[in-house]
Each structure stands twice: as C-alpha cells, then as structure tokens.
Chain A
Amino acid sequence: MLVTASQPAPTLAGRPSPPDPVGEPPRRSGKPYGEWLIAAILLLPNLVLLVVFTYRPLLDNIRLSFTDWNISSPYADYIGFKNYVTWWHDPNSHQVLKNTVIFTIATVALSMVLGLALALLLDQKLRGRNLVRSVIFAPFVISGAAIGIAFQFVFDPNFGLVHDLGYRMGLTVPNFYQRPGWALFMVTATYVWKNLGYTFVIYLAALQGRRADLDEAAEIDGASAWRRFYKVLLPQLRPTTFFLSITVLLNSVQVFDIINVMTRGGPQGYSTSTMVYQVYQETFVNSRAGYGATIATILFLILLVVTVIQVRVMDRGMKNV
C-alpha cells in the first residue's frame, strides 16, 4: 500500500549488484563430450581432497560415535547408542547445549542487528565515514586466537581496559574471568567485536545496491522514517538477511579459537564450553574420541535441521519479496 504510487512491485531483478551470474553463455554445438577428460583432470584433485578430508570423515564420525574409541588405541569396541544415552543424561551436556544456544543466538542477533545499524549509519554522507568503515572491518581479518589472547587483557578484572573505564567512571566491573555468566558475556562480546565487520560490509553492499526510488516514493507518500525502514527497506534486504543468517550462524557455531585461548571452556568447568569446544575437550583432552564423535554427530544433525528450516523459511520469504 505504501509502495503503490507509480512504482512497480520491487523486484530483485533490478538490483545493480555487479556479479549477478548471467547463466551459461551459448556453447558451440560440436564435440559435446570431447572435453570430459580435461574436466576430469581439472576437477579430480579438488574432489579427491573434499571426499577424503570432508565427506569421508563426516561418515566416519558417525561410525566412531558408536564406539568407545580413545583416540590413541588402534582398537575400539562398538557400544551401540551408549554414547548418545550418556550425552542425553549428562548435566554437563545440557549446560554446554545451553551455552551453545545462548552464544549462537546472541552472536547472530547482535552481529546482524548491529551490522545493519552501522551499515545504515555509514551509508549516510558523513565526513570520515571511510575511515570508520575500515576500522569496523579490520578486526575481521585478524586471527581469532590473537584477538582472544589480547582480549583477555582487555577484560582483565584488575588491570584491563574494561575495568579501567569502569574505574574511571566509578562503576564496579564484574570479574569476567570467574563469574560464569560474565565469562560467557566476555566471549560473546569478543566474538561480536571481531566479526561485526562481516555483517556490516555485506549489509552496506546491499544498501548501496538498493532501489532508492522506492524509498523516495514512500517518502512522497508521507510514510514515517520507521515505516519506510520496516516496509520498504527491510523487504529489499531480505535476501541479504537470509544469506547472513545462514552463514553467520554456521560460523558462530564453529567458534573454537576464541574460547580455547580465552577461557578453555571455563570457569567452573563448562561455563563457556560450546559443543564444538566439548568435541575437542572430550576427544583430545579427555581421550574419549567416541564420545567426542557423538557430540560432533549431534551437532551436525542440529545444524542440518536448522539450516533446512532456514532455507525453507528463505524460500517462502523470497516469494513475498
């Protein structure tokens, strides 16, 4: 209703985003299969690597999840679903699952909302915006391990940056190292700080490729800023939002470096352990590789279900764009 005026319904087809693949160029008709040998030679190395080091272990992991393997022994016994039962009844697993859900939802929501907000801000004509854009994106290219190590000192409960800022403002800063909830907050904040640049840059590119004429039409119609944002801009950004929700979620779930260097999953045992961290800890620290494989399998199944749901929602959402 807002968008009516003289504008056609917004379509994605009109977006000027540069590398819209145009589909296959016309091909010559002769020798349709003459190229298959060259294609095989070109594709084989990559395929072999992916099969051996991605798909094979994915399946092998499922097999291992039914064993009591300890990572170093050449032998392992099949123990049926025992690992799965253990996982189901283990209170630590519940804690870890909860941490994973909290961490993932918090990081995905924060980096997407903040990324969009910053993109909107820095899409405005403001002096110095290029500098700020670069600064926001910079942490994304730094190693997570380096950032995790450095941010330990940023959050140091006695002499860290956060403590110092609080001290100067007369605030009491919680002990991020020892309070479980605050430790999880610290890890989440560090992750968002590092990865915000990604969502920011993607949203900024989407904003620059949007159709300003729609916004203008809505403005002429007298729509408020909020309604223009909600009814005109957000629907245009929907494909970007879906893309980000999938990739950011996959990345968040996989975080290992920051947790390993900052907290080692602690304090108090499992306060900042996520499932990926638990896989590492059970397999390589506690030498329970079978159990680690079980957790990895469960994580993969969860990811699969979540991704399928996301893609379903995306398909439905795209029809309404």
Chain B
Amino acid sequence: MSDTSAEVAVDVTGGGAHNAEAMSHSGPAMKIAGYAAMVVVFLVVALPLYWILVTSFKQQQDIYTQPAEWWPKHFTTTPYHAATTQIAFWDYVRNSVIITAILSVTKIVLGVISAYALAMLRFPGRGLLFVVIIAALMVPNQITVISNYALVSQMGWRNTYQGIIIPLAGVAFGTFLMRNQFLSLPGEIIESARMDGAGPLKMLWRVVLPMSWPTLIAFSIITVVNEWNEYLWPFLMSDDQRTGTLPIGLTFLQNNDGTSQWAPIMAGTVLAMLPVLILFLALQRHMIKGLTAGAVKG
C-alpha cells in the first residue's frame, strides 16, 4: 500500500509523462498563465530584497529622488563604511556569533540527549516527562519575559552572555524532532547493538546518531537560524554593544539621529541578512526537511 503510493508520489514530483497528462486538460494557455503567475510571485518577493540591496550602494542624496533610481547613479560603498563605524558593528557581530554558537551547541546537545532518553531508555514517568517538555512549545516566550526579566536582573545578569543564553537554552521543538527520528530507527539494529553490549552512551554516539545525521543537521540549522534572529530577549537583556546582538545593533543604527540615514541602514541590514542567507542557500534542503518533519506529526 505505502509502496504503491510512494511510487505515485515520485511520479508526480519527478515524472514527465504523468504530469504532462495532468496538465494537458488545461492546455498551453494555462501553462502561460502559470509562468505569468510565477514571474509575478518572483517579483513581489524579490523586489524588496533588490530594493534594499540597491539602496545600500547609493549616495545619500540619490535616495531622495522621484522617481527613484533603480540602479545607483553614483555607485558607492560608503554606506557600508558608515554602517560599520556609526555603531559598534563588529561588537554586535561578535556578540551574535558568541551567543548563537553557545546557545546552538547547548540546545543541540540538550535536544539530542533528551530525545535519546525519551526514545530509547526505559524509566518510570517517561510519558509524563515527554508531555512536560513538549507542552513548553505552547507557552510563548513573550508571556514569560516579565518574570524571567525580574529573575535574571536580580541575579545581576543583565548585559551578560549567560543572562541571554541560559533562559533561552531549554529545548522543546528539537527534542520532539529528534525523538521522532530516533523512534523511526529500525529496532533490529538497536537490538543487535545492545546484544553486543553497547552501553547507552556508546549506543547514542556510535549507533543512533550516525543513522540520524539528516535530521540532526536539519535541527541544527533551524536552531542556528532561530538563535541568530532572536530579538525580544536579547533586546531586553542588553543596553548596548557589550552583549547586544546584531538585530539590536541595527536598531541603534536606525535611531542614531532624527532623520533616517537609509543607505547605511540598508547596508547594515544587508550585512545582517547575508550570513543566514548564505547558510540557507547552502543548506536549504536540510532546513526544509526539518520543518516539514515537524509538521508531519501534526
């Protein structure tokens, strides 16, 4: 049953003949409409990105023209210089890198070991603990910030890395994702590894993880992107470039003076977008896999 439908699905996505037939009732007119729609969609999504990029290479006076220049008349990289000097740009980059790195590694490790315990080990209360971890997904961060803010400030942890990192380090989604992955592994392999006397940790490291790379990579990328983009909590915890992350630094660029210096702001935005976009372009398949794997369970 599932075999046949898998074949059909492959046919739909990759096959020529079948698909051509499916399209045939609509004819070439529909095909043209399809391409037209695709171009419109492409423009709607890509035009703002192009606009941001073009503006970041304009001189200030060339921004205030009507109609606007769609290609910079006086191409310049001064906005990039301005963006990186008007604010302590590289301090924010450093903070973003440090916080994202530590937080991601922590979350990935915690997610994997929690998922391993929930999927592979036997102990009383396992079902309950699973629910406790997963239910955290339903509690928005925004509702917990007031009390967490009070707690962390009391400890004197505002404007520290640990104050930003530790409250964000609990893992619900990743635990869920990895647990599903571990449960989907063939039981015989796990069993035979057990027979060979592999202890729980050796089992995790040598047997379970090597079979779970794709999901682990997906989980890792989603985590890195999320932490890189995290805004509210670092924003509340940081007053300046000591611990502020890049998104927060950008807002200082924005508020630097009364009139908006759009070119440097756009340049800063481009610099902030670039790392995730590159990561995304390189690894989008993995990332999408992780997102859809989370969705399948529903």
- A residues engaging B (CB < 8 A)? 13-28, 32-33, 35-36, 38-40, 42-43, 45-47, 49-50, 53-58, 60-61, 64, 71, 118, 121-129, 131-132, 134-139, 141-146, 149-154, 156, 158-159, 161, 164, 167-168, 193, 196, 198, 201-202, 205-206, 208-213, 215-216, 219, 225, 239-240, 242-244, 247, 250, 253-254, 256-257, 260-261, 276, 279-280, 283-284, 289, 292-293, 296-297, 299-300, 303-304, 307, 314
Choice from B228, B277, B292 contacting A205 with Cβ under 8 Å: B292
Are B34's CB and A303's CB within 8 A?
no
Q: For A71, list chain B residues within 8 Å (CB).
A: 146, 149-150
Are B138's CB and A50's CB within 8 A?
no
Are B291's CB and A42's CB within 8 A?
no
Are A128's CB and B9's CB within 8 A?
no
Complex Cα gap A283–B295 (Å): 34
Minimal beta-carbon separation of A131 from chain B (angstroms): 8
Are B215's CB and A19's CB within 8 A?
yes
Beta-carbon contacts under 8 Å, B210-259 to A: 215, 225, 228-229, 231-232, 235-236, 246-248, 250-251, 254
Q: How large is the interface on B (under 10, 10 to 19, 20 to 34, 35 or more residues)?
A: 35 or more
Sample 14 A-B pairs with CB under 8 A, ordered by A number: A25-B187, A40-B123, A46-B113, A49-B110, A49-B166, A57-B151, A125-B20, A202-B295, A209-B9, A261-B254, A284-B149, A299-B142, A300-B140, A307-B138
Complex Cα gap A118–B110 (Å): 36
Flag B42-77 by CB within 8 Å of A: 1 or 0 each.
101111110110010000000111111000000000
Choice from A14, A61, A136, A261 contacting B147 with Cβ under 8 Å: A61
Complex Cα gap A64–B151 (Å): 13
Complex Cα gap A136–B46 (Å): 8
Q: For B23, list chain A residues within 8 Å (CB).
A: 124-125
Choice from B42, B49, B184, B225 contacting A141 with Cβ under 8 Å: B225
Minimal beta-carbon separation of A200 from chain B (angstroms): 10
- Which B-chain residue is minimally distant from A35 (CB atoms)? B121
Q: For A24, list chain B residues within 8 Å (CB).
A: 119, 183, 187
Are A212's CB and B295's CB within 8 A?
no
Known A137-B284, A143-B231; judge A53-B170 contact (CB<8 A). Answer: yes
Are B146's CB and A61's CB within 8 A?
yes
Are A137's CB and B288's CB within 8 A?
yes
B266 contacts chain A at the CB level, 8 A cutoff: yes
Minimal beta-carbon separation of B106 from chain A (angstroms): 9
Complex Cα gap A216–B149 (Å): 57
Are A122's CB and B38's CB within 8 A?
yes
Complex Cα gap A243–B294 (Å): 10
Beta-carbon contacts under 8 Å, B146-180 to A: 146-151, 166-172, 175, 180
Complex Cα gap A18–B132 (Å): 26
Are B277's CB and A55's CB within 8 A?
no
Known A46-B175, A53-B167, A144-B231; judge A201-B291 contact (CB<8 A). Answer: yes
Known A33-B123, A159-B66, A201-B288; judge A254-B141 contact (CB<8 A). Answer: yes
Complex Cα gap A126–B20 (Å): 11
Minimal beta-carbon separation of A206 from chain B (angstroms): 8
Q: For B228, list chain A residues within 8 Å (CB).
A: 143
Are A36's CB and B124's CB within 8 A?
yes
Q: Which of A138, A243, A244, A250 has the most CB of B within 10 A?
A: A138
Top 5 A-B pairs, shortest CB-CB distance? A25-B187, A57-B147, A36-B123, A145-B247, A49-B170
- Which A-chain residue is minimally distant from B185 (CB atoms)? A25
Are A124's CB and B34's CB within 8 A?
yes
Q: For A280, list chain B residues within 8 Å (CB).
A: 142, 145, 232
Complex Cα gap A298–B246 (Å): 32
- B residues engaging A (CB < 8 A)? 1-2, 4-6, 8-9, 11-13, 16, 18-20, 22-23, 25-26, 31, 34-35, 37-38, 41-42, 44-49, 51-52, 55, 63-68, 110-111, 113-114, 116-119, 121-124, 126, 129, 132-133, 136, 138-151, 166-172, 175, 180-181, 183-188, 190-191, 194, 200-201, 215, 225, 228-229, 231-232, 235-236, 246-248, 250-251, 254, 260, 262, 265-266, 269, 272-273, 276-277, 279-281, 284, 287-288, 291-293, 295-298
- Which B-chain residue is minimally distant from A8 (CB atoms)? B1
Are A141's CB and B276's CB within 8 A?
yes
Complex Cα gap A146–B200 (Å): 43
Complex Cα gap A47–B190 (Å): 26
- Which A-chain residue is minimally distant from B297 (CB atoms)? A21
Complex Cα gap A161–B183 (Å): 49
Complex Cα gap A124–B43 (Å): 19
- Which A-chain residue is minimally distant from B199 (CB atoms)? A38
- Which B-chain residue is minimally distant from A14 (CB atoms)? B5
Minimal beta-carbon separation of A99 from chain B (angstroms): 15
Known A16-B2, A19-B296, A201-B288; judge A25-B190 contact (CB<8 A). Answer: yes
Are B269's CB and A121's CB within 8 A?
no
Are A55's CB and B139's CB within 8 A?
yes
Complex Cα gap A135–B280 (Å): 11
Known A19-B181, A53-B167; judge A149-B269 contact (CB<8 A). Answer: yes
Q: Which of B26, B143, B166, B262 has the most CB of A within 10 A?
A: B143
- Which A-chain residue is minimally distant from B96 (CB atoms)? A143
Choice from B19, B114, B132, B250 contacting A149 with Cβ under 8 Å: B250
Complex Cα gap A26–B279 (Å): 39
Complex Cα gap A253–B139 (Å): 12
Are A211's CB and B5's CB within 8 A?
yes
